[in-house]
Structure 1
Amino acid sequence: MAAWLVAGLGNPGPAYANTRHNVGFMVADELARRAAGSFAAPRGMRADVCETRLTATGMGGIGADAERVVLIKPRTYMNDSGVAVAKASAFYKIAADHLVVIHDELDIDAHTLRLKKGGGDNGHNGLKSIRSSLGGGDFYRVRFGIGRPPGRQAPADYVLNQIPASLREDLALDVDRAADAVEALIREGLPAAQNRFNS
């Protein structure tokens, strides 16, 4: 049974930890937490990696139905995410049809998820880098809506500024739901997961 590669996108380092651009990291962290796993930094991998399994009972389960799942958080900056994803794909021998990328999405309202396969990068530099490194975009995406910036705030400032403390409780619920969506996508397939989580 082919393994799955789940890449949460973000920027490394504490300065970016609580920013909207790092919601992919947050979802990957939640999946690792559910698996009682931890991230390590294998030499030459360009990503923090957590290897686990997913069963009907959830992340970290064991059994004949267990799907092998490799969670990664690129150690490159967002614009070079493709370097880390391509290295992990090659090392674990995982094709694009078993790749799930979790990323922030300006053009989707906050608290909204959209799951899809393929498509363009919609101006997202992380996706652009992955498409370039893999030679195509035919992978799964969990698009985590963050909405457009208020007023005249520049999109770059909006995605890279710290998320206000007043919004973090709602964010935690959104991260939890996105982690559920990743599990459903792997276990149940795209159409079933879309029916449950696309809003």
Structure 2
Amino acid sequence: MKLVVGLGNPGKKYEHTRHNIGFDIIDRCAQKLDLPLDKQKFKAIYGEKRIGSEKVVLLKPLTYMNLSGEAVRPFMDYFNISNDELVVIYDDLDLPVGKIRLRKKGSAGGHNGIKSLIAHLGTEDFNRIRVGIGRPAHGEPVVHYVLDTYRKEELAFMNEAAEKSAKAIEAWLEKPFLEVMNTFN
């Protein structure tokens, strides 16, 4: 089984904000894989489908970002999913707008959603796709920046990042994550 988690905040207020790029990419994957997110369990909405020999689950926590681990851990326990079978997609202030980075492990880097996952999983050792949203302009509070929508000039870069991330997920369904990292980084 492969579990793909996109981090974000639930509700219309947060749709298509920088902090919700994980949700946006899950939606894109759902569309590409014809895998509707039509189930709910453990504070998350998800969809599942067998693709080839692999069962694939796309998941969006319905907790707020800072509590993402509360949705992901019970889901992993219930379905007996290992950390190697998990990929988490999230926004990253430390990468330029539209840049993606795949990693097998690492610290939270100040990201509260990842902090929650690390706390609930008990490890930093899980696959991730970091999607660059850049830094706010000097003086702009980070919280306002991440909860805002993209500027017009950022849209093409973010669309490209979302597409590349979705393609990386599709590749991971057939290849080891390390191989996918080498292709997409």
Q: Judge which range, 160-169 or 21-30, deviates more.
A: 160-169
RMSD after superposition: 1.5
CA contact (8 A) 1:20 1:163 kept: yes
Offset of residue 6 of structure 1: 0.7
- Structure 1 residues 1-199: aligned runs within 5 Å: 3-42=1-40, 44-54=41-51, 63=52, 66-198=53-185
Distance 1:52 1:29 in 2: 14
Distance 1:144 1:187 in 2: 22
CA contact (8 A) 1:47 1:76 kept: yes
Q: Deviations over 1:122-181 (max 9, x none)?
A: 110000001111111211010111111122212111110122345334322221111111
Offset of residue 99 of structure 1: 0.8
Offset of residue 16 of structure 1: 0.3
* SS class of match (2:159): helix
Distance 2:144 2:165 in 1: 24
Distance 1:191 1:38 in 2: 27
* SS class of match (1:31): helix
Q: Structure 1 runs of 4+ off > 6 angstroms?
A: none
User: Normalising by structure 2, what TM-score?
Assistant: 0.93
* SS class of match (1:175): helix
Q: How many residues align?
A: 185
* SS class of match (1:115): strand
* SS class of match (1:170): helix
CA contact (8 A) 2:97 2:157 kept: no
Offset of residue 183 of structure 1: 2.0
User: Normalising by structure 1, what TM-score?
Assistant: 0.87
Distance 1:12 1:27 in 2: 14
Segments of 5+ residues of structure 2 without an aligned counterpart are: none
CA contact (8 A) 1:21 1:160 kept: yes
Q: Deviations over 1:11-53 (max 9, x none)?
A: 00000001000000011111110122211242x4210111023
Residue identity over aligned pairs, in percent, reads: 41
